Structure formats: structure tokens, C-alpha cells
Structure 1
Amino acid sequence: MGTQISTAQAHLKRFFGFSQFKGNQEAVIENVLAGNDTFVIMPTGGGKSLCYQLPAIMQDGTAIVVSPLIALMKNQVDSLRGFADDSGIAHVLNSSLSKRDVEQVKADIVNGITKLLYVAPESLTKEENIEFLRSVEISFFAIDEAHCISEWGHDFRPEYRNLKQIIQKIGRKPIIGLTATATPKVQSDIQKNLGMEDAEVFKASFNRPNLFYEVRPKTKNVDRDIIRFIKKNEGKSGIIYCLSRKKVEELAQTLQVNGINSLPYHAGLDAGTRSRHQDAFLMEDADVIVATIAFGMGIDKPDVRFVIHYDMPKSLESYYQETGRAGRDGGEGHCLAFYSYKDVEKLEKFLNGKPVSEQEIGMQLLQEVIAYAETAMNRRKFILHYFGEFFDEENGPGAKNDDNSQNPRKQFDAREDLKTVLETIIATAQRFKAKSVVDTLCGTLNSITKQYKVQELPVFNMGADKDEKHWMSVIRQAIVQGYLRKDIEKYGVLFISDKGQAFLKEQGPFLIAEDHDYEEEAGQEEIISEQKAGASFDPELFKMLKELTRKVAKSKGLPPFTVFQEPSLNEMALHYPTSLDELKQISGVGEGKARKFGTPFLELISKYVEDNNIEKGDGLLVKSVVNKSGLKVYIIQSTDRKLPLEDIAAAKGLSMDDLVTEIEHIVHSGTKVNLDYVLEDMFDEEQLEEVHDYFMEADSDELQEAYDEFDGDYSEEELRLMRIKFMSEVAN
């Protein structure tokens, strides 16, 4: 066997150019070459694929590699062809091939050229493929992403369940199962379902010491928190995972308008766009990809410096897989997750209506996610324990590389609170969900608690000395620690478990952690940045900006309100913008006005900041787009095409008043909107000139003043449209 391994090492050097095997690759390859069933559990980036590629190249016949990911198969085939003299060494067999391609693949296999044949499980089930593979020499079967076979895995694929039968039909040969993530439960499920209970198991450590794990509460300012985090890591590559395609699009747009080079990626985009966005990220033309979990499988970008979870995923396996895309070169990798219990409840709702067994599995996986997010213990220890691996939190590699170790949370014994919660659940006959239990404790009536007359119970208002957030936390921790359970059938109703009943008889300690107050820790400048413009602006600077507005307007022969309006000046006096990018973030400014009028304002503010030793802090002003950006583009394109305003409003489900308001916003931000085609149908040239001259001389653009000036000759809507025309021509 020793000579075979030295031969393996020679093949490794000759074919792949490596002198040394990594981790336990050598032992795995030795086991495969000996014709034994082999099970490999190795984290992403550990070199799993070599474990079947090298033995396939060294043996007679063709190895069948089953993988669920077309992109990954293609990557591996291209990579192997790059090493070999004959491109027939590796092939993909799937439904996208032409008849001629399929014939070429079969010919290369029959002639002994093809060492690895990559197939999706669906292709293996086809009778003609089974017949063909029965007739040729197979060296072994490699089942990649083997966790797909288990209902307890994070990526269950029902078609994987048939693999055992198909392998028997083709002719049983040694099997190597490979996965980057498997809890002990998933591990035994894989072995049982592939019929390889006696396989030699090789498990590498799941610890990634260079990754820093952090969980923050998800507040209404989450977009701002993400923008601040990315700006502190400027120029570094990162991935942000969201659960919905809609959120991916919205967040990517918000990042773009805040000066971050980001692109969206999800299954709803066409293949060409997805491929372009992926390439832009790999080639560093984009710093950040905002994606659903459709992104990342088989992406071999070693220098991803951060992975952000905008939403918590459905299982810890998914979390581990996705965070594992950071720092694959051994450099820093920051894994930041934003956690809100409401998001987890949304995921619970998705389980409703599924078969009960699926619901139970889904709920248990979610409980682990909640436990991880809310734990006060070392996060690395928590993750590794979940994967059945011991970790020394004092001296293990990366031991202090998480938020809980660097900023330990105080724990306190909440046994009295747990007792109160359990007694309330009993008093309300175990018929309420968490929200109604908390309402009862806090003395709040809702439609459900009213129906059951909880105000007549002794437990009503018993917990009024503490807030709802505290009681929700006690309930969540009680579920995580097994004192309570949520009923699957009666969706979300709380029941007391056997452990909870035992606690009521003999109370022991019930430790829960205090939450960090991130808002307070973040510093005062953040809070100031969220105040509405005008709430605490610098009155001295405001006066100077107002004067400058008059001066600039006069030099250009314009009324001051066409340059910048008061709300914009308020914001400037609050945030002290000193660059064009910062000025564009001020509401009512935008690209057009910033370029047209911005320079003297930026010079004034910069000098004022310097003269008065003002520290701007990092109170970010975050520009929001939501869906306005698409609407803005639609309105501008539609008015350019001279569509009737009624049609534009109807197409977007807007009232005329709302549409005109949107057009006013666009124009106030410095972008022209041409409404001549509308106004020329309504007024003659003299009337348009008359109103234009009025606004040119007016002290303000107030509609009431204009209405009074013309004695009601024009309606408010007509004056609004003419004011839009005036601002478009004069201010923009």
C-alpha cells in the first residue's frame, strides 16, 4: 500500500502540481484506492474534490460523480481539462447536451479516455443512461454534496433518495460520499440512505479560526448599519445574504445610491445577468454581491472579507456554509448576522401547511438558529458543538474571535420570571401563542385575550414591572432550553414540556443573557444623524447657507428657492457635507443640483468646519431608494415619450396628485422633466409666460401666494404643473 501512496504522491505532483496532500486527503485517497466505501466530512475549502479526482485518474474505468450543481460540475470539468492533455478526461452528462455531444461523451468513456463523468441525479435516473453505464467499466461512485440526501440537511433534494437503487441497478462499486457540513444526525442519515454504514469516516475539523462571528439585533436602522460597516471596510469584497429576491433588489439599489459598488444576484434574474454579476464580483469590478442563497455554491473567491446575513437562515448548516465563503485564503473574514425574532417567526409561517414531519424538522432547525443568535457563550464553541466537535474556548484556535468572547454579556438567573411565565401558561389553559401570553402578563388586552376574559385571572398584569421585550426573551430562552415547546399542529401555541413541569416542582437556576444595547454603544453621532433635518441643526451655518443661496441665485438671475430650498439647507447645517458625494445625499439635492450649484456651498461648509474645529463623526446620512428609483426612471422615460399623465398614473397605480408629487421630487433633486407636451394642450404661450415671469420675481414658490396673485385664474394643479416646468428650465 505504501508504494501505492508514493505513486499517489507522484500523480499529485505530475497531474496537479502539488507536492503535499492537505489534512487527511492522503488517508482518504488510500482508502478509495483500496476499494473501500469512504465518507468524507470536510469544510468548504478543505480540498474535498481532490479526494475523488486523483483516485479516478489513477484507476482503470470511469468514476461517476453525482452533484446537484451544474455550475460546480462545469467548473471542475474545465479545471481538470486544464491539467490534462486530452479534454475527454472529464465530461458532464446532462439534459443540456446535444445528441452529438452525448455520442462524443459515450465514445470517450468506451475508449477509456474519460476518468470522471459528472452527472446530476436526475440524469442518472434515465433508463438509457443506466443501460449504457451498465455496459462500461465504473471505478467508483462519488456522491458530492451528500447532505442533499438527508431531510435533516440544509439542502434536501428528494431525487438524491433514489441513488442507492440506481447504483445497484448500474452495478454496486465502492462509494465515496462527501459533504462540507453534517451534524451527527445528518451523517448517519447519509450512510444509511447510501447503504454505506460500514464506510470508513474521515472528518476534518470544522473550525475556521480566522473567521470572526458576530450577531447584532436587527433594528429599523439595519440598512444604515450595513452601509457604515461596508464603508469601514472600503474596497474589500463581501457577500450579503437576504432571504427574498425583493429584498436583494432593494438593498443592492440602496447600497448603489450610497456609493457602494454592489450588484444583485438571485434565481429570478436571467442566466446572462447572473453570470455577468458573478464575473464582475470575481474580477473585482463589484465589491459587494447582495444575494439569495442561489449565490456562492462553487464560487472559489478566496479573498471574501465579510459575509453579512441580512436575514437569519433556516438552519445552522446553511449559516455555516454561507459564512464559510469568507476568508478562504486564511486572511480575515468577518461574519456579521442581523437577528430579529420576527424574521424567525416569518420562517416558521412558511412551514405551515407542509407535512407534519417536515414541520417538526424545520422547527427544530430554527430552534438551533435562535439558540445560536441569542446565546451568551462562545459562538465558535456553539457551532462546533452542533457539528459534534469539542472546542476549547480558552486555548482553541480562534478562541476569542467572536463578539461574545470579546464583549461578554452579563448573565442573570431568571428562575422567578420563568416560573411566572409557566404559571401564566397554565392559568390560560395552554391555549395561547407567545404574544398573548406576554399581553396577559403585561396587562394588555387583544382580541384573543379578551375572548378568554384574561383580565379576570390572577396572573393578569402580573409582569407589568418589566417590558414586553423582556418577557419575549424569557419565553424564547425557555423554548431553546426545553422548558416550553411550540405546538406544530396548533401553529405556535405554547405548551409546557416535561422539563418545564419538573421545574415547577423543584426550581433550579435558569440563566439568560442580557442583550447588548447596540444603539447606545454606537455613539451619539449616529442618533443625531437619524434626527429629522432642522431638529438640531447649526443655526450659525444655516444663516450663512441661506445668505449664500441668495448670493448664488442673484448672480444667476434666479429666485433663491430654485437653488436650494430650506429643508435642504437645514440638512446641510446638520450633516456638514464637504464632498460632492455627501452633498448628493442631502434630500432635495441630487446629482443635477449638486453639480450645478454645489461648489460654493461645499467650500463654505469645509471652511466653517475647519474654522470651528467641528468633528463630523461618522453619523451617516443614508440615502433611501426603496422602489423610488425604478418609479423615477419610469416617469422620466414616459414623459420623454409624451405619454398622457393619466396613463402614467394608472400604470403605476397612483392618483394624479401622487404622480405630480413624485414629479416634483424628481425636479427638486435636480433632474429635468419635460411637461411641455401636457401644458401646451392646456395653455397658450402668453399664459405660460405670465406664470413663468411670476415665479422668476417671487420670493417663494408657495402655491397659495401664486393662486392669490392670479385671483384664482389657475387651479392649484395647473399652477403645480407650471411650477414644475419653471423649476425644470431654470433650476436644473
Structure 2
Amino acid sequence: MSDLSQRALHLLQTIFGYPAFRGQQADIVETIASGGDALVLMPTGGGKSLCYQIPALLRDGVGVVVSPLIALMQDQVDALDELGVRAAFLNSTQSWQEASRVERLVRNGELDLLYVAPERLLTPRCMELLQEAKIALFAIDEAHCVSQWGHDFRPEYIRLSVLHEQFPDVPRIALTATADQQTREEIVRRLALDDAREFISSFDRPNIRYQIVEKSNGRKQLLDFIGSEHPGDAGVVYCLSRKKVEEVAQFLVESGIEALPYHAGMNLDTRTSNQARFLREEGIVMVATIAFGMGIDKPDVRFVAHLDLPKSIEGYYQETGRAGRDGAPANAWMAYGLQDVVQQRRMIDESEADETYKRVQSQKLDAMLGLCETVGCRRVRLLSYFGQHSEPCGNCDTCLNPPVTYDATVPVQKLLSTIYRCGQRFGAGHVFDVLRGMDTDKVRQWKHEQLSVFGIGSDIGDQEWRAILRQVIAMDLVHVDPDAYNSLRLTESARPVLRGERAVQLRRYVKPVKAKRSQTKAKGYVEADLSPVEQRIFEKLRWWRMETARRHNVPAYVIFHDATMREIAKAMPQSLEDLRGVSGVGEKKLQTYGSELVELIGELV
């Protein structure tokens, strides 16, 4: 082991309290600490922050972390302060006096890490400050924001190539949890990382169970899911519109669940207060638009739910990745229906973007629909999107309860024929009425009861026809035209099906049922099995942590993660030396909290 590697491991153990690096962390740290550049793709919760924090401590000067997460910078700095690391941030929330104080610390070489938003970094004042300071490294977090094809493009990120131009000898590390091959290539090109080493970790999050259900009554299904799987747990519920966020949050509150809304249209103070409560309190469900959550550090989010279809697999992966950052079992649940498909298609078609952008977004939506409609393992489908091969996981809904497929060629032909006979001018509701032989005013108005297809699908219910239509849209047999009142139109791909030249396999419709509590744990991770005594210690530690966090005015997880407290409960340390060996207990925390913990445990054992 090189001297640099030994120093890095010493910092990991003494400051952060971890016995060894995970995965590629050691190689990444050595690359940056020795002056090289790196592009790092690592799943949420995989330990990306250590990849720049430790090199910043190993090198002379201050490590500058470029991050769009203004709302979380204070918590990140607080967490480092608890570890004895000198950290600060510069963003628009500070007073002039506070910003000036931080700038003095930077000039005087009195900081290890400085967090700064990209907009602030690119100002003449900040660039001048950096020119005057000794810079250890630049870490560009959430690097996928540089991609115009990505799910979370930030225009200011494109200008970050200035770091290479003005600081050519300072190593740079770009980090993200979400990037397909096209996005990775764009990150390299736009940030001038041509000579950077690429570190691509597995995208798999084996502790997350993926589940996508047929949407019937989304809010009621969500309530059943939370009640059966996650009573009292912290979670995030994503909705597409601000209005829906407000309505769902109110519905959950009225149903006895502690829920808060979050979206960009809210009063800033209320929004900030709600985010702070979610981060610092336990058991809160945040109902939000995608404006909330990028880079959430809260490790014990036990579920992420979607009541609307995400625009892309990247977005879905990023959002679901906010669950289970601590490695304990977590759920990613989604209710998905035909209207979601129609709505997303309409949003793309009505966008003012150019045709190239629309085509890319349509391809991303097609991939997302493929994930929803797959009859195989969802994890296999998800990981293959990012170019990673895997075997069926045994820990998603399609593995645990394999869907039944059937030859649906005849029902699909009936649907396509009805769309065609109706002139490709009507939406789903009317097409279903004709299929099922319904006597409605609209059917009579257009004399569609006289069509040869009238009633040919009367043996199939409305919800099942919706499931069939949703799948044929995902298969690109039918297109929804938003410019013509969401009328259904056949694509070229429908011709061979109508002619009997192509068979169609679909998943059989299953009527939604009320969720039952799962009896199996997430594969790949097993929660600590605590004895009655250990459980009593663990609960006492949670109470102690909550009180301590309140006194320090920081989130509870900044004091200790649940995983660390479980280890403490199992170890039952009788001395500071016993406590020193517990993962997650570094020297600073040992000095700050060690005596309290040993005394508290002594009272219980």
C-alpha cells in the first residue's frame, strides 16, 4: 500500500469512523489526491462524497464543491463540523457579512471544504476569490445537470469548463448517480474531462424493491401502501403538478399521516420550513414535485412513491434512489395508468423545444413505458438501460409475483380495428364504448352503433381495455394525438398486426387489490436482528440522538446513522475503547459523545 493510500485510510478510519473503503472509493481517492481528474458514476448512498472529501483533506488548500443543492448545504456543513472538518458554504441565503467571513477563511487557508452553487461560483467576485486562494480540488456534484438531453439540465453547468481553463493544474472530479452513455459523453465534452479516468460503479441498489401497480384510485392505493408497508416511516411521494401535491398532502393528513407539501410555487419560508422538518424529524411523508429532493442526504427514507409517471428512466432512478440510502430495505412504488401515458405524450408534443429534443424525450419516455410494462424483472430492465447486465433479482414485483402473459393478438386486432373504423378521430373513452357496445349519446350521434365493430369487445371490461390500450401505446402500435383532443391513431407498426402477420403478447390484467404487509425482506440486505436488550438500547439511543440533534440544531442523522446506532446497541460498549471500533464512530464523535454513550448504555445493561 502506497504512503498516499495509507494516509487516506487513516483519515477514513479516524475522521469518518469507517474501517475500510468500499468498491472503487480507494482508487478514486488516490487518483484525485495525486492530481488526476475523474468522472465518477456511483449510485445514491454509495459514498460519493468521501471520494472528494478525503482528497481535499490530503491535498494542500481548500476543496471546492460545486453543488446545486443550496437548501442542503447547511446540513452538509453541519455534518462535516460534527466530524471536525473545517467546512463552509457560499450561496444566496447568506448575509453580506457572513459571506465576507467565509471569503476571509478561504483566503487565509482556514477551510478544508467550501460548498458553492454554480451560479455563485461563476460570478467575477467568486472567481477572483478562488484565484487568490490555494485550491486543493474542484468537485462537480450532480454532473448530469450539464447534459441538455438529461432529465435535470441546468444551463449554468455548461459554463463550468471555465474551471479547466483558469485552473488547469487543479484536479477535478465530476460525480453523478444518473447518466446513460450519451449523458456521460456530454459530461466529458462540456467539462473538458477528456483525460479523466472513468469510474463506473454498479447502478444496482439491491435494497430497493421496485413495484409498479395498475392505477385505479391513486390516492387510496397510496394510503393502502403506506398503511400496510410503511406506517410511521419517512417517505417521499412525487406528483406531477403543484395542485396535486397540495391535494395529496391534505388527503394524507386527513387520513392520519403526518405529511407536508413541497413545490416551487409555495412561499419560500414555508417551503424551507417543510424541507427542514422532513430532514430533522422522523416519520414525515413529503409530497412534492421533482423540485424537491435532488441530493437528499436523509439516509432513512424508507419509501419513494410516484403517483404520476416520470419522464424518463434517469428521472425515475434518481428519484427512487432517495430511498434506503442507509442500505436497509426500502420500497419504490408507483401507480401508473393510461392517462399518465397520454399526459406525458402531450407534454412532449406541446413543448416549444426543437424536433431533435422532442425525439430524444420521446425515446426516453418509450424506455420508461417499457420498464412499466415489462413482464420480466424490473431491475434487469432498469440496469440494462444504463448498460449493465444483471440476472433476475427476486426482489421486485414481477419477480415476486410473475405476471401472466397471454396471446392478445385477437383483442388487440379488435381494438385497432375499432380505432380505424371510428375514423381515428376519437379518444379512448369513445373507442371503448364502441368496442363494448355501449348505448351512449355520442355513439348514437355518430351512428357508430352501425359499425361492424360495435360490441365486438363486450366480453372485456373497461379497465382491462385500458390496460390493453396502454400496452399497445407502449409498443408503438397506437399514437395519442394531443392536437386532436387526444384522438387515437394507428401507427405503421399496427399494419402487420391487423393483417395477422404479427402476434402480440401482453400481460394479463389483474384487478388491483388492497396491499398486504409484505412478509419478506429486501434481498441483499438484512436488518440487524436485535435481541430484546439490544432493541431496548437501540430505542434509548434513538431518543438520545433526537434530543442531542435538537440541542445542536441539526438533523438526527448528522449525529449518527441508524446503522451506527444498531452497531452500538449490539456492541454494548463499556468503555471508550470499546466504542472506538464501531463503524461510523470517528475520533471527533468519540470525544464529543463517547462518555455520554458509555454512561447511557451502562444504565441499561
TM-score (norm 1): 0.62
Counterpart for residue 605 of structure 1:
none
Query: Which residue of structure 2 lines up, in the alignment, with residue 66 of structure 1?
Result: 66
> Secondary structure of the residue that 2:302 maps to in structure 1?
strand
Match of 1:226 in 2: 223
Structure 1 residue aligned with 2:8: 8
SS at match of 2:334: strand
Q: Aligned-pair distance for 1:417?
A: 3.8
CA-to-aligned-CA distance 1:158-187 (integer Å, 9 cap, x gap): 222222246425547433111112223322
Aligned partner of 2:32: which letter? V
Distance 1:190 1:221, change over 3 A: closer
Q: Contact (CA 8 Å) 2:77, 2:88: kept in 1 or not?
A: yes
Query: 2:249 matched to 1:255?
Result: no
CA distance in 2, matches of 1:220, 1:425: 27
- Does the 8 Å contact 2:214/2:337 carry over to 1? yes
Kept in 2: contact 1:152–1:361 (CA 8 A): yes
Match of 1:154 among 143, 151, 156: 151
- Residues 140 and 47 (structure 1 numbering): CA distance in 2 closer, same or farther, change over 3 Å? same
Give 2:309's aligned residue: 312
Where do 1:288-687 residues align within 5 Å?
Answer: 288-351=285-348, 352-357=350-355, 358-393=357-392, 399-422=393-416, 441=435, 463=457, 465-485=459-479, 499-501=493-495, 507-519=501-513
> Aligned partners of 2:172 and 2:440: how far apart in 1?
58
Change (3 A) 1:285 1:381: closer
> 1: CA distance between counterparts of 2:514 and 2:134?
67
After alignment, is 90-99 or 119-128 more displaced? 90-99
Q: Is the 8 A contact 1:134 1:171 kept in 2?
A: no
Match of 1:639 in 2: none
Partners of 1:232 and 1:259 in 2: how far apart? 15
The answer as to whether partners of 1:415 and 1:507 remain within 8 angstroms in 2 is: no
- Provide the secondary structure at the position in 2 that maps to 1:330: coil
C-alpha change, 1:145 and 1:488, in structure 2 (3 Å) is: farther
Q: Output one character per residue of 1:664-715: Cα deviation in whole Å (capped at 9) or x when no partner.
A: xxxxxxxxxxxxxxxxxxxxxxxxxxxxxxxxxxxxxxxxxxxxxxxxxxxx
Q: Do the aligned partners of 2:320 and 2:332 also contact (CA within 8 Å) in 1?
A: yes
5+ long unaligned stretches in structure 1: 394-398, 523-732
Q: Decide whether aligned partners of structure 1 residues 390 and 221 sit closer, same or farther in structure 2, where only a CA change above 3 A counts.
A: closer
Quick one: distance in 2 between partners of 1:234 and 1:54? Answer: 38
The Cα shift of 1:326 comes to: 2.5
**CA distance 1:443–1:174, change in 2 (3 Å):** farther
RMSD: 3.6
Q: How does 1:139-288 map to 2 (within 5 A)?
A: 139-165=136-162, 167-169=164-166, 171=168, 173-220=170-217, 222-223=219-220, 226-227=223-224, 229-230=226-227, 233-284=230-281, 286-288=283-285
Separation of aligned partners in 2, 1:123 and 1:271: 19
Give the C-alpha shift of residue 227 in structure 1.
Answer: 4.7
The separation in 1 between residues aligned to 2:145 and 2:332, in whole angstroms, is 24
Shift of 1:460: 6.1
* CA distance, structure 2, for counterparts of residue 446 and residue 175 of structure 1: 66
Determine whether 1:56 maps to 2:56. yes
Matched to 2:54, the amino acid is L
- Partner SS, residue 53 of structure 1: helix
Task: Read off the aligned partner of 1:325 and give its amino acid letter.
Answer: R
- One-letter identity of the residue aligned with 1:403: D
**Inter-partner Cα distance in structure 2 for 1:521 and 1:138:** 54
Alpha-carbon offset, residue 21 of structure 1:
0.9
1:302-347 Cα deviation digits (max 9, x unpaired): 3333333233333332322332233333322122222222134334
Counterpart CA distance in 1 for 2:253 and 2:92 is: 38
Q: Relative to 1, partners in 2 of residues 1:125 and 1:448: Cα closer, same or farther, differing over 3 Å?
A: farther
CA contact (8 A) 2:304 2:322 kept: yes
The DSSP-based 3-state class of the residue aligned with 1:26 is: helix
Between structure 1 and structure 2, the one with the greater Rg is 1
Give the aligned residue type for 1:513.
R
Give the equivalent residue in structure 1 for 2:77: 77
Amino acid at match of 1:323: T
State which drifts further: 21-30 or 315-324. Answer: 315-324
Find the counterpart in structure 2 of residue 42 from structure 1: 42
In structure 1, distance between residues paired with 2:113 and 2:514: 57
Q: What TM-score comes out, normalization by structure 2 length?
A: 0.74
Go from structure 1 to structure 2 and tell me whether the alpha carbon gap of 1:457 and 1:234 turns closer, same or farther (over 3 Å shift): closer
The count of residues paired between Structure 1 and Structure 2 equals: 514
Residue 136 of structure 2 aligns with an amino acid whose one-letter code is S
In the TM superposition, what is the alpha-carbon distance from 1:129 to its structure 2 partner? 2.6
Question: In structure 1, how many angstroms separate the alpha carbons of the residues matched to 2:442 and 2:164?
Answer: 55
Q: Which has the higher contact order (CA 8 A, sep 6+)?
A: 2
| 1:632 matched residue in structure 2 | none
Q: Which residue of 2 aligns with 1:694?
A: none
Q: Say whether the 8 Å CA contact 2:224–2:514 is kept in structure 1.
A: no
Q: Secondary structure at the match of 2:506?
A: strand
Cα distance change on mapping 1:348 and 1:7 into 2, 3 Å: same
Mapped partners of 1:189, 1:132: distance in 2: 29
Q: How far apart are residue 402 of structure 1 and its match?
A: 1.9
Deviation, 1:368, is 3.0
Gaps of 5+ in 2: 517-605
Partner of 2:580: none
Cα distance in 1, alignment partners of residues 189 and 305 from structure 2: 35
Letter in 1 for 2:407: D
